[in-house]
Structure 1
Amino acid sequence: MSTQHQVNQQQYQDKSQAYLTSTVHAQGIEFQKMQQLIQSHQIKTVLDLGCGGGHVSYQVAPFVDHVTAYDLTPSMVELVAEQAKQKGLVNIAAQQGVAELLPFADQSFDCIISRYSAHHWQNVAQAMAEMYRVVAQQGKVIIVDILGNSNPVMDTFFQTIETIRDPSHVRNYSLREWAGFAEYAGFTVETVEKQHLDLEFQSWTERMQTPEYAVQTIRDLQRKTSDQTRQYYQIQTDGSFRSEVAYLVLTRP
């Protein structure tokens, strides 16, 4: 029997290079927001939780004393360590592990950043409790992730195509769900912003090496969905679409 963690590792073990070079992951207006927050709060230590190709780590390292790049997939961790060395970012340390059980002492970090990772986590509530434990008092947590939808029809459509494309997908959560996770863990929700992410269909599927039959299933679902759903996600004739993204800042009181 495979655990969700094993499914995730299997999906991503040979995709580190694709995520390093992915334009979607390498760019984003959220990086400037992160840098501004780090500078305004004089943050010194950062945990990049679910670091993937390491883009958050590379963006924030010049502004802090130390970054821990942490990911479930060993090949991602190896890639970030190698890239940090090549970029001369000597203050980045890479470490492998799961989000739900962080191997760090209480209040180890001034700030935790998780970008496009949480929708793969096995247990977000448990991971949030761990984040609360390892972030300092008055410390910040920044979450950037694809949003689920409060409309059941649209949400089912989106979660379905995500899972067909990538079997390690667990769930995109709505803003209401995120607020619930944060408040239950003890955080104060400081900032809630929405962004948009345009996803070019071919690169979106190629990045995950989605099999052709699965690609065709997604395209079939896109063609058969309602006009309302098609318009909301701005589905194009080639399958490209737009999704909503949450940018959240939480504070540990």
Structure 2
Amino acid sequence: MEHQGTVAQQFGAQAQAYLTSTVHAQGKDLQQLGDMAERFAAGATVLDLGCGAGHASFAMAPYVTELVAYDLSTDMLDVVAAAAATRGLGSIRTRQGPAERLPFADASFALVASRYSAHHWTDPATALREIARVLKPGGQLCMIDVVGPQGVGSALLDTHLQSLEVLRDVSHVRDYSRAEWRDMLTTAGFELTDEQDWRLDIDVNSWLARMRTPPVLEAAARHLLANAPDEVKQYYAVDPATLDFKLESAMFTARKSGE
């Protein structure tokens, strides 16, 4: 099965769990997305790229004329459509497809946002070029995702992070570092205007259950956490009793350059 099929299959079965996940349904970044939509896209059209269960869409929809919730998983899109109807968010419409091939005309959107999706993309550089294409002149981009470590000693930390992620979820590709994101954004023609970061508290039981991680892979993930080197445990704040830990998230806001 190609990777995009793996992503769609993985998240189709877990669509409802992501709608109710506190990790995804909460966070000050959702308020910030709403603020961006009100500031940059009032009366315009917005794209939520890799929308998942729709939390970013729900945050931005009240401020815009139209919001396109776009995802590989039709099951996720069904959840978004149903939740949008329940919440009275008539501006939301759904569209299915991959991030690397956007079925939209040039300069279609005033704002593109993506929240906790890019670590599943096969080719983020191509996806960012597509985002630049569909953004209007001066359009805004907001990328939010888990990020990998960087700096001295980061190779060991990164190896454990990526291994843990793929054990939990076989559709995982990579948590890119902040430096990698800056380079990709610049190369795709974006001017970075702001960068924020924070730590996500991960309850390991719900984190694994949400993806229905197979028992053999769940056991391997727990073993990796429990037996990681001390510097890895310290960096990710692994609780020795529960194996709960912390991930790093970042928000990159950028403007389409040259306009």
Place the TM-score, normalised by the shorter chain, in its bin.
over 0.9
The secondary structure found in structure 1 opposite 2:56 is helix
1:64 Cα shift?
1.1
Query: For residues 179-212 of structure 1, what are the alpha-carbon distances to aligned partners after superposition, in whole Å with 9 as ceiling and x for unaligned?
Result: 1110111100111111111110000000000122
Partner of 1:231: 234
1:42 Cα shift?
4.6
Counterpart-to-counterpart distance in 1, 2:24 and 2:155? 28
Partner of 2:58: 58
Matches within 5 A, 1:172-187: 172-187=175-190
Structure 1 pair 132–206 and aligned structure 2 pair: CA distance change class (3 A):
same
- Unaligned 5+ segments in structure 1 are none
1:37 Cα shift?
2.3
The secondary structure found in structure 2 opposite 1:127 is helix
1:221 Cα shift?
1.0
The secondary structure found in structure 2 opposite 1:32 is helix
What code does the residue aligned with 2:9 have? Q
Matches within 5 A, 1:127-142: 127-142=127-142
Counterpart-to-counterpart distance in 2, 1:80 and 1:95? 11
Does 1:252 find its partner at 2:256? yes
Counterpart-to-counterpart distance in 1, 2:35 and 2:87? 22
Counterpart-to-counterpart distance in 2, 1:124 and 1:56? 19
Counterpart-to-counterpart distance in 1, 2:228 and 2:256? 41
Size of the aligned set, in residue pairs, is 252
Partner of 1:30: 29
What code does the residue aligned with 2:124 have? V
Counterpart-to-counterpart distance in 2, 1:199 and 1:28? 13
Q: Please tell me the root mean square deviation across aligned C-alpha atoms, in Å.
A: 1.0
- The range that moved more, 211-220 or 13-22, is 211-220
Counterpart-to-counterpart distance in 2, 1:86 and 1:243? 32
What code does the residue aligned with 1:191 have? D
1:91 Cα shift?
0.4
Does 1:147 find its partner at 2:128? no
Counterpart-to-counterpart distance in 2, 1:25 and 1:93? 20
Alignment check: 8 A CA contact 2:41 2:111 kept = no
- Unaligned 5+ segments in structure 2 are none
What code does the residue aligned with 1:41 have? F
Does 1:209 find its partner at 2:197? no
Counterpart-to-counterpart distance in 2, 1:185 and 1:72? 22
Partner of 1:74: 74
Matches within 5 A, 1:93-112: 93-112=93-112
Structure 2 length-normalised TM: 0.95
